[in-house]
Structure 1
Amino acid sequence: MPIRDQQKIRRAAVAGRFYEGEALDLRRRMAETEAQLPPPAADARTTPVRGCILPHAGYLFSLGVAMETMREARHGSYRNVVLLGPSHYVGFHGVAGSTYTSWRTPFGDLSTALTLQEKLEESGNPLFQISDAAHTQEHSLEVEFPLIQYFLGSPEILPLVVGGIAPADLEPLAKMFAAIDSPETLWIISSDFTHYGENFRYTPFGESAPPEELNRLDREAAERIAARDLDGFCRFLGRTGATICGANPIALYLALLDRVDPERKISGEIVSMADSGEVTGDYSHVVDYAGILFR
């Protein structure tokens, strides 16, 4: 088990770029965005939320989707939030925790759920490692932290970066994660959906993506995820090559649900979808976003 400093803070890497760097400005943006959302579902207060799939783009593009999805979790009582996000900067195999004891945002610090991480370390699973390098610049987890603080206050969090994984890795990782799952744990899976354009090397519809075709593509993916169809989701990725950056974290969460809820009492629903083209008007370089809730 790594020796941890008494206090080791992971400082915000993308505050002031992906979201406002000052607390008042950030809270104002989030409050104004929430005020513009459609009314929540009638059963939002009665059905506990167990997991959310949220985008991790700049708030200018994806905050509405993230907040509309995440707001239903504010009625829950969570001791911990476990986050799974893809690695954008460091290549490795498996899942990486860190030695950070807290995570700083403009709203203050969130503490690491060290007890949960120690359980993962003690599992002896070779697919789990400690790597601060995987976390230092990673935005896929960081952009979710202010949402946790806005809606939930200050639960302990366990940010985990997901690197490359093979299909055979899903079952042992799901078994490892099952040991830290509970009704008092909220899972946040961080993923943007299709990245379209020459820069992403993905142009199945031509130079520019027709918005309706892009929406159709990602709605099919979102429907398979919400239906907890892990095999169907993997087949979709193989058939379309869709550039869903958090495909591995999503697959891991679906495998976890299969393990902890074989009776399928936890169900998914698509809450919101959008794309960056709605803001920029550019569909030759566009990213899709989907918010999916599990309860």
Structure 2
Amino acid sequence: MPNIRPPAVAGSFYPDNPNTLASMIESYLEQAEPVDKAPKAMIVPHAGYIYSGACAATAYARLQPGRSHIKRVILLGPSHKIGFTGLALSHAEAFRTPLGNIPLDTNAIASLAKLPFVEYLEQAHEFEHSLEVQLPFLQMVLDAFYLIPIVVGDCPAEQIEQLLELFYGTEGTLIVISSDLSHFHDYATAQRLDRETSDKIERLDYLHLNYDSACGRVPVSGLLSLAQKKSLQIETIDLRNSGDTAGDKSRVVGYGAYVIN
């Protein structure tokens, strides 16, 4: 029997009915502006779809020009369930969503396991939503592709940069970083803090990001370190919070969408 990681948050973060799920994502994508060229890397939020789906869609819609070209996705997101040091891989052969199975690039994953700060750690993947919520979007905007899912623990940005540099710019490869922004401030405070964080992201100033800036500060910092090294530019394409969508404005979570072209 194949080793498949089943969905952990279908029915809570997003619909578990495939038709309902596909329709929801389509409605978000239809609201986003089309572009002519797919980005090489992006940062997207990972909350429940009713809160952050529209924001995430502004980035995912930009992948549609690369629908048949993008064949591999490297997906990094923070750990919400367990604490560990380094980066966590999975032995799974595929990750499942209500829309079907996504095969993993097991050969590339095995090669990453040789890095001293990378290990297989199934517990990090078992219930983690930061990666899972990205998968249905990817299934909707891309044709067949292989996935390299990595849950990020405590590690320096330079280690993530080292890993990402192995793949950045290679033919048919996309990098996706999963992160929300500020958490549980009032609406006006969140807007101010998230604008400050976006300014730092655009300046590639990862040294001044902290956990209050973004729950995925570590993988975001790794991407910004790579962008700094390669003299890349990152663009903010959407910035909002749960008070703009389905949440109470007295206590919101911030969301941003960013791309590197």
| SS of equivalent to 2:75 | strand
Deviates more, 1:134-143 or 1:172-181: 172-181
Partner of 1:193: 181
Q: Which residue of 2 aligns with 1:9?
A: 4
Structure 1: distance between partners of 2:246 and 2:53: 15
Q: Which residue of 1 aligns with 2:152?
A: 162
Preserved contact between residue 226 and residue 294 of structure 1 (Cα < 8 Å):
no
The gaps in structure 2 that reach 5 residues or longer are none
* Alpha-carbon distance, 1:281 to partner: 5.1
Show the counterpart of 1:24: 19
Q: Mark the CA change 1:30 to 1:136 in structure 2 (over 3 Å): closer, same or farther.
A: same
Aligned: 1:223 with 2:223: no
Q: C-alpha separation between the residues in 1 aligned to 2:48 and 2:161? A: 30
Matched ranges for 1:271-286 at <5 A? 271-280=237-246, 282-286=248-252
Greater Rg by CA:
1
Counterpart of 2:233? 267
> Cα deviation per residue 1:3-50 (whole Å; 9 max; x = unaligned)?
xxx720000000011101011111111122222x1533xxx214x411
> Partner of 2:46 in structure 1?
56
1:78 matched to 2:70? The reply is yes
Deviation at 1:253, TM superposition (A): 1.3
* TM-score for the superposition, normalised by structure 1: 0.82
**Identity across aligned pairs (percent)?**
31
Unaligned 5+ runs, structure 1? 1-5, 198-208
Partner Cα distance (2:173, 2:195) in 1: 27
In angstroms, what is the RMSD of aligned CA positions?
A: 1.8
TM-score normalised according to structure 2 size: 0.92
Deviation at 1:129, TM superposition (A): 0.8
Q: Secondary structure at the match of 2:148?
A: strand
2:56 to 66, 70, 84: 66
User: SS at the partner of 1:291?
Assistant: strand
Which residue number in structure 2 is paired with residue 146 of structure 1? 136
Total equivalences in the alignment: 258
Whether the 8 Å contact between 1:52 and 1:294 is mirrored in structure 2 is yes
| CA displacement 1:258-293 (0-9 Å, x = unmatched) | 34x2xx2x3211111121122445233210100111
CA distance, structure 1, for counterparts of residue 191 and residue 247 of structure 2: 15
From the superposition, tell whether residues 280 and 108 of structure 1 become closer, same or farther in structure 2 (CA, over 3 Å). closer
- Which whole-Å CA distance do the structure 1 matches of 2:47 and 2:21 have between them? 15
